[in-house]
Structure 1
Amino acid sequence: MFALVLECTHEARDLLIADLWEAGVAGITETPEGLRAFFEDEADRAALQTQFGGAIEETEERDWVAESHEYLQPMRVGARFFLVPEWRDDPAPEDRIRIRVNSGLAFGTGAHESTRLCLEALEELIKPAMTVVDIGTGSGILAEAAKKLGAGRVIACDIDPLAIDVARENFAAAGLEIELFEGSVQQVESGIADLAIGNLSPAWLALLAPDFARIIKPDGTILLSGLEAPDVERVQEHLEGAGLKMVKTQEENQWRALVAQIG
């Protein structure tokens, strides 16, 4: 077995992990600088370095599946949620909403601060029967949470077909009717959303600010996360340029979630 040692930013980490799983990685650990991705000896080292870069390190054989399962345990998030890995059958406490986490492709397990911030914000923002649009849904965890909190129509999309497959599986396992399509916010109808969600990189949040403003109703709300403290000012400038005003900021460690409205 060998490790491919990669440097990456926090915002690029989730997509890089997804690409590594697609390339047949046996296990992944995080480092302060990025990731260590472990592959079996028969994997094509040259091809992996061509695709991902990084340095090759020899390492010992380990049961990475077992270690991944040990790492991701059931967790309480906010006041309402109980996130459970797909390989466990832990029931939710009476006061909690159970969400099954499919972590196999590393989209939105709930372990990341930006996802937790969004889940906590949804507890306050969701109203019965409202229409919610989740842009860049990943595993679908935020769309599922919105539906289980009482939202009416929930629409979720992602430009990555791999993410769509994961989200579809999760929605089916939860028995939820959520409209899911492969595509971007540009394909969403104008003025349709009471609440639009985007847990994306700061660059995408800034670029898509006009579309987030376009798809919400005049009294609608936008929930954005995936950015760190130094990114807030730049994203806020783009929100204001799109006719939006920031009304609330939530934080966990260096990560931030923004709530914005038209105005």
Structure 2
Amino acid sequence: MNWVAAEVHFTSDNPEQTEDLVSNIFYEFGLQGVVVTEACVTGYFPLDERIDNQRHKLESALLKLKQEIKFDYQVDYSETTEEDWAESWKAFFKPERIGRRLVVKPTWELYESRPADVIIEIDPGMAFGTGTHPTTAMCLETIESYLKPGDSFLDLGTGSGILMIAAARLGAKRLVGIDKDPVAAEIAEKNMKRNDIPEEIYQVKTGNLTREIDERFDLIAANILTEVVLTLLDNLNEVVAENGTIILSGITESKRHMVHKKMAEKGILEVETRLRDSWAAIVGIIQS
């Protein structure tokens, strides 16, 4: 498949905030590859019949953002193959320590581990989830904090499968990941095998994030868009075990109050909220 790279070059008095907000525009498109370099955010759109409409929506969203915060930008488009994208993107993905013990490393990088390290090897392909983005990093940290050995784990919007691999490495005995994107589900499956996760303890599905689930889980993670999180909260009671824990990430800091309000309406007790680089991750317990 060929892709269109949309490079948003910008100047801003607050470059970190601008990076996050422009990145969020791309994530709201459901894009599976976003690269952030100095004063530039690049998103990758599939080159298909939707591309003209996608470009129009991107430019409209950037114009709206410019009205909300002070920054200047220019968008450059170029066509690239998936192979070229993958090779160029590898330069930006290096081993990274997350939390107390977790280390996320790409398959092509060497890493000298410490005795207590929990290594997660990832080849993300075109799927979102390397551990470098604050939303993924906060999810990994909270999984490390809240998952108990023997727990069952559900990953809603699994992307590269990184959260499932972390949960398995930390002692989960039953894992299910689901993504609406079949490409992401295929990549997640490959990454599970690459990390030698036993096939009998996990399942990767494609489809609606909760309608395809017919069992209950001790720990549920959803690292997706704020609006999707709000919709999921209507159905999480049906898939979480008694006194189970939920981790909600991918939430922009400016919209976290909407998630807190919806959680309260659904009887979900907020345990913790973590903030990083304009993003929020919220941990809650379903009250029995």
Q: Deviations over 1:9-53 (max 9, x none)?
A: 54342475846x6xxxxx9555768536699xxx89x98445433
Mean alpha-carbon deviation: is it higher for 112-121 or for 178-187?
Answer: 178-187
Report 1:144-155 matches (<5 A). Answer: 144-155=165-176
1:52 partnered with 2:59: no
- 1:128 aligned to which of 149, 156, 160: 149
- C-alpha separation between the residues in 1 aligned to 2:144 and 2:75? 44
The residue aligned with 1:248 is: 272
Distance 1:261 1:67, change over 3 A: same
Q: What CA deviation, in whole Å up to 9, does each residue of 1:207-249 have, x standing for no partner? A: 1102222211121110110012111110111112222121111
C-alpha distance in structure 1 between counterparts of 2:245 and 2:50, whole Å: 45
Check if 1:206 corresponds to 2:225.
no
1:18–1:166 Cα change, 3 Å? farther
From 23, 26, 30, the counterpart of 1:13: 26
Output the CA distance in 2 between the equivalents of 1:163 and 1:185: 17
Amino acid at match of 1:231: K
Report the secondary structure of 1:187's partner residue: coil
CA contact (8 A) 2:86 2:125 kept: no
Moved more, 2-11 or 233-242: 2-11
Gaps of at least 5 residues in structure 2 are 10-20, 60-73
Distance 1:89 1:124, change over 3 A: same
1:66 Cα deviation from its structure 2 partner:
5.7
Q: Residue in 2 aligned with 1:69?
A: 90
For structure 1, which segment, 239-248 or 49-58, has the greater mean C-alpha deviation from structure 2 after superposition?
49-58
Change beyond 3 A, Cα 1:249–1:66: same
SS in structure 2 of the partner of residue 196 of structure 1: strand
Q: Structure 1 residues 49, 249: closer, same or farther in 2, change over 3 A?
A: same
**Mapping of residues 165-244 of structure 1, within 5 Å:** 165-176=186-197, 177=199, 178-183=202-207, 184-190=209-215, 192-244=216-268
Write the distance in 2 (CA, Å) between the matches of 1:240 and 1:260: 10
- How far off is 1:95 after superposition? 1.8
Q: C-alpha displacement at 1:138, in angstroms?
A: 0.5
Question: What SS does structure 1 have at the residue aligned with 2:244?
Answer: strand
Answer yes or no: is 1:89 the counterpart of 2:110: yes
SS at match of 2:155: strand
Residue 178 of structure 2 is matched in structure 1 by 157
**1:137 maps to 2:171:** no
Q: How far 1:89 sits from its partner (Å)?
A: 3.2
**Change over 3 Å in CA distance of 1:16–1:32 after alignment to 2:** farther
Name the Cα RMSD after superposition: 3.2
Q: Percent identity?
A: 27
CA contact (8 A) 2:160 2:191 kept: yes
Residues 1:179 and 1:253: Cα distance change in structure 2 (over 3 Å): same
TM-score of the pair, normalised by structure 1 = 0.82
Q: TM-score w.r.t. structure 2 length?
A: 0.75
Are residues 235 and 212 of structure 1, via their aligned partners in 2, closer, same or farther at CA, if it must alter by over 3 Å?
Answer: same
Distance 1:258 1:154 in 2: 21
> Deviations 1:148-180 (Å, cap 9, x if unpaired)?
000110111111111101101101111113211
Counterpart residue type for residue 189 of structure 1: D
Q: Secondary structure of 1:144's partner?
A: helix
Q: Letter of the 2:219 partner, please give it.
A: L
Query: What residue number does 1:35 align with?
Result: 42
Deviations 1:93-152 (A, max 9, x none): 222111112132141011100100011111111111111111111101001100100011
